Structure 1
Amino acid sequence: MVERIVGQLSLADGLVSPAASGMLDGLEAALNWQPIRALLGRRGSSGAGNSSYPAEVLLRCLLLGVWHGLSDPGLETSVADRLSFRRFAGLSLHDKTPDHSTLWRFRQELTRDGLADRIFAEITRQLEAKKLVLKQGTLIDASLVAARANPPRQPRPGAPADTPVKPSADADARWGRKGKKSVFGYKIHIGVDAAHTIIRRIVFTDASVTDTEPADALICGDERAVYGDQAYYTHKRHAELVAKNIKDRLMHRPNKHHPELPPRKKYRNRLIGRIRAAVERPFAVFKERYGMRRLRFYTGERNRVQVVLACCCYNLRRAFGAVAPA
């Protein structure tokens, strides 16, 4: 199977393509695609067989799908119909566009060898090189996201005692609780830079994992301070941050020995809360714009790739907003 050649422009492309404008065209200047192209490698090989789409084309298509909250069939239609989508993906008017099954298979390819994580790391590295990550502080938080599958179903009242529980179609999802909210699904943990809320660290778990368990993996080690809500404070974490010369800006919480915080600590918590509130921005974008109030797939591995792609999309969008002329 050989890799097909796409993007060869014709006279028709020159006549219908408008001048470069908007986010999709601006991202060409915000990101150097050559290192990502090298990470992806070639999908085809020499010899006879059907041709395959270049990996960069398919990655760009998946990013378009996340930005616009599209399913794979919807993305297939939009790439075929919209000139801006074709131009961003690197497809000319006469190029055949990838179908939804091709996009699905490529998403599966991203799960192998941690390829999605390596792409995210390269994008973050480039944003750091552009001084969009200032490392003055890292904001950490987590958010529950419902699974696509229904939770396990208990037997109906009156059923025989030995009637088994009907399992969920998603064997990786679990019940989780945050505050008064219970969700069957997963939890997205992120660490973002305080300056432009660029996401620097991602941990994806089932919903039963508490916020504090993966928190250390969200701390980069090169920031000046770490901000988080009351769920993240422990004496051990405080000592580790102090040892690394990182300011502890984790909110304090009452305990059985001190059921009421003194006014000084309450005031400190309020000051921290004003800063750490910015970490909610990525979660709002995921759920409001990227259609991730409920995840799309039936396994943790596939959902994790979708979350990593969403983090890539969010960072690129934030980078464009930061560098675009006013």
Structure 2
Amino acid sequence: MVERNVGQMSLADVLVRARRGSILDEVEAVVDWAPLRSLLGKRGGDGAGNSSYPAEVMLRCLLAGIWHNLSDPALEAAIADRLSFRRFVGLSLHDQTPDHTTLWRFRQELAKDGLIEKVFAEINRQLEAKKLILKQGTLVDASLIPARATPPRKARKDGEDTPSADRDARWGRKGKKSVFGYKIHTGVDAGHTIIRRVHMTDASITDTEPADRLFCGDEEAVYGDQAYYTHARHARLTEAGIKDRLMRRSNKHHPELPPRQKLRNKLIAKIRSAVERPYAVFKEHYGLRRMRFFNFARNQTHIVLACCAYNLRRAAGALAAQRPESVSV
């Protein structure tokens, strides 16, 4: 199988590409695709067979699908129909559109050998080089997301339990609400709420268990709610020279926090609240009120892709805000 040659422009393509101004065009200016192209490598070999689309084209397709909350069939239709999509993914007017099964297979490829995590790391490396990751503080938090599958049901008398179609999801609880699904844990840079660390578990895992994986080690401080504070974690942060800005909670020895600690928690909460922004975008704009797939591996790939999409979009907004406004004479 050889890699398909796409993007050769005709005069009509040149005229179409001259028209810019969409979200996709704003993101295009944020990232240098050459390192990502090298990281992804070639998808086709030297043997005979149908040609494959370049990995960069496929990655662009999946990112566009996340920004517009599209299923794979809807994404196929959008790429075929919308000029802004074709321009962003790198397809000319006469190139064939990847079908939804091709998009599905490429997503599976990203899950192998930690490739999607390497893409996420490269994007963040570029954003750090652009001074968009400030390292003044890391905000940590977690959010439950229900599984796409129906929860398992207990059988009636003398019957067998009905398992869920998603055997990787578990029950978790937040406050008084129980959720069957997964939990996303993130470490977010306080400056522009760029996601620096992401970790996914089933919903039964508590917020504090994977928390140390969310710290980067180069931040000035770590901010989190009461669920994250432990004496051992405080000691580790202090030893690393990182300020502990984890909110304190009462316990059986100190059932009432002193006024000083209450004020400290209140001040931390104002800064920490920015960590909710990525989750709001995931659920309101990326369709992640519920997981899209039926097992852990596929959902994890989709979540890391969503983090890549979010970071690129946030970076585009931050860079646009830094540009001086044009002055009319």
Give the TM-score category using the shorter length. over 0.9
1:158-197 correspondence runs (5 A): 159-160=157-158, 163-197=159-193
* d(CA) in 2 for partners of 1:229, 1:180: 18
Is 1:59 the equivalent of 2:55?
no
Q: Report the Cα distance in structure 2 between the residues aligned to 1:219 and 1:88, rounded to whole angstroms.
A: 34
Structure 1 position 94 matched with structure 2 position 94: yes
Answer whether contact 2:22 2:84 (CA < 8 A) is retained: no
In the alignment, which residue of structure 2 is the partner of 1:267? 263
Say which SS state the counterpart of residue 30 (structure 1) adopts: coil
Q: What is the CA-CA distance between 1:42 and the residue it aligns to?
A: 0.3
Q: CA deviation at 1:25?
A: 1.4
Deviation at 1:17, TM superposition (A): 3.4
Question: What is the one-letter code of the residue matched to 1:108?
Answer: Q
2:288 maps to which of 254, 270, 292? 292
Q: How does 1:306-321 map to 2 (within 5 A)?
A: 306-321=302-317
Report the 3-state secondary structure (helix = DSSP H, G, I; strand = E; otherwise coil) of the residue aligned with 2:140.
strand
The answer to whether the aligner puts 1:150 opposite 2:146 as a matched pair is: no
Q: 2:297 aligns with which of 293, 298, 301?
A: 301
Question: Does residue 1:29 correspond to 2:25, yes or no?
Answer: no
Task: Report the CA distance between 1:181 and its aligned residue.
Answer: 1.7
For residue 18 of structure 1, report the CA deviation from its aligned partner: 4.1
Matched, 1:217 2:208: no
Give aligned-pair identity as a percent.
71
Structure 1: 5+ residue stretches without partners = none
Distance in 1 of aligned mates of 2:58 and 2:15: 25
Equivalent in 195, 203, 206 of residue 207 of structure 1 = 203
Secondary structure of 2:24 counterpart:
helix
Deviations 1:11-45 (A, max 9, x none): 22123334332321122221111110011000011
**SS at 1:52's partner residue?**
coil
- Structure 1 residue ranges, 4+ long, deviating more than 4 angstroms after superposition: none
Match of 2:81 in 1: 81
Q: What are the within-5 Å matches in structure 2 for residues 40-55 of structure 1? A: 40-55=40-55
Q: Quick one: distance in 1 between partners of 2:258 and 2:184?
A: 32
Query: 1:204 and 1:82 mapped to 2: Cα distance?
Result: 33
Distance 1:220 1:241 in 2: 11
Q: Verify: 1:229 aligned to 2:225, yes or no.
A: yes
Instruction: Specify the alignment match of 1:114 in structure 2.
Output: 114
Of stretches 19-28 and 138-147 in structure 1, the one that deviates more from structure 2 is 19-28
Point out where structure 2 has 5 or more consecutive residues left out of the alignment.
Answer: none
Return the TM-score normalized by structure 1. 0.97
- The Cα offsets for residues 52-103 of structure 1, whole Å up to 9 and x where unpaired, read as 0001101000001110110000000001000000000000000000000000
Distance in 2 (CA, whole Å) between partners of 1:181 and 1:39 is 42
Query: Cα gap change, 1:207/1:322 in structure 2, threshold over 3 Å: closer, same or farther?
Result: same
Letter aligned with residue 259 of structure 2: P
For residues 211 and 199 of structure 1, the distance between their equivalents in structure 2, rounded to whole angstroms, comes to: 17
Q: Distance in 2 between matches of 1:182 and 1:56?
A: 40
Aligned-residue Cα RMSD (Å) equals: 0.9
In the alignment, the residues of structure 2 paired with residue 5 and residue 305 of structure 1 have an alpha-carbon distance, to the nearest angstrom, of 27
Q: Deviations over 1:237-280 (max 9, x none)?
A: 00111111110000000101111111110110000000000000
Q: Quick one: which amino acid aligns to residue 45 of structure 1?
A: G
> Secondary structure in 2 aligned to 1:192?
strand
The DSSP-based 3-state class of the residue aligned with 2:107 is helix
CA distance in structure 2 between the partners assigned to 1:24 and 1:18 by the alignment: 14
The CA distance in 1 between the partners of 2:213 and 2:149, in whole Å, is 28
